[in-house]
Amino acid sequence: MRVYYILGLLIFYCLIISCNHPSKISENEIKNQVQVVLNESVTAWNEGDIEKYMDCYLKSDSLRFAGNGEINFGWQTVLERYKKGYPDQATMGCLTFSETDISVLSESYALVFGRWHLKRENDEPNGLFTLLIKNTENGWRIVHDHSSSTR
Give 8-42 pLDDT, tens digit per residue. 444 544 444 444 445 578 999 999 999 999 999 99
What is the pTM for the complete model shown?
0.82
SS3 sequence, 10-48? Answer: HHHHHHHHHHHCCCCCCHHHHHHHHHHHHHHHHHHHHCC
- Evaluated on CA atoms 32, 99, 113, 121, the torsion sign reads negative
Q: Give residue 43's pLDDT.
A: 98
Query: Is 145 part of any domain?
Result: yes
pLDDT, tens digit (0-9, with 9 covering 90-100), for 128-142: 999 999 999 999 999
Domain count, the chain: 1
Query: Is 61 part of any domain?
Result: yes
Residues 6+ positions from 94 with CB-CB distance below 8 Å: 46, 118, 119, 120
Domain that holds residue 64: 26-149
Query: Is 15 part of any domain?
Result: no
Query: Is 43 part of any domain?
Result: yes
Query: Is 6 part of any domain?
Result: no
Query: Is 21 part of any domain?
Result: no
Domain with residue 33: its CATH number is: 3.10.450.50
Which whole-number Å values give the CA distances from 54 to 41, 76, 81, 150, in the listed order?
8, 9, 11, 23
Q: Give residue 119's pLDDT.
A: 98
**Contact, 145 vs 65, CB < 8 A?**
yes
Query: Is 44 part of any domain?
Result: yes
Q: Band the pLDDT of 127: cuts 50, 70, 90.
A: very high
Q: Give residue 19's pLDDT.
A: 44
pLDDT, tens digit (0-9, with 9 covering 90-100), for 43-94: 999 999 999 999 999 999 999 999 989 999 999 999 999 999 999 999 999 9
Query: Is 138 part of any domain?
Result: yes
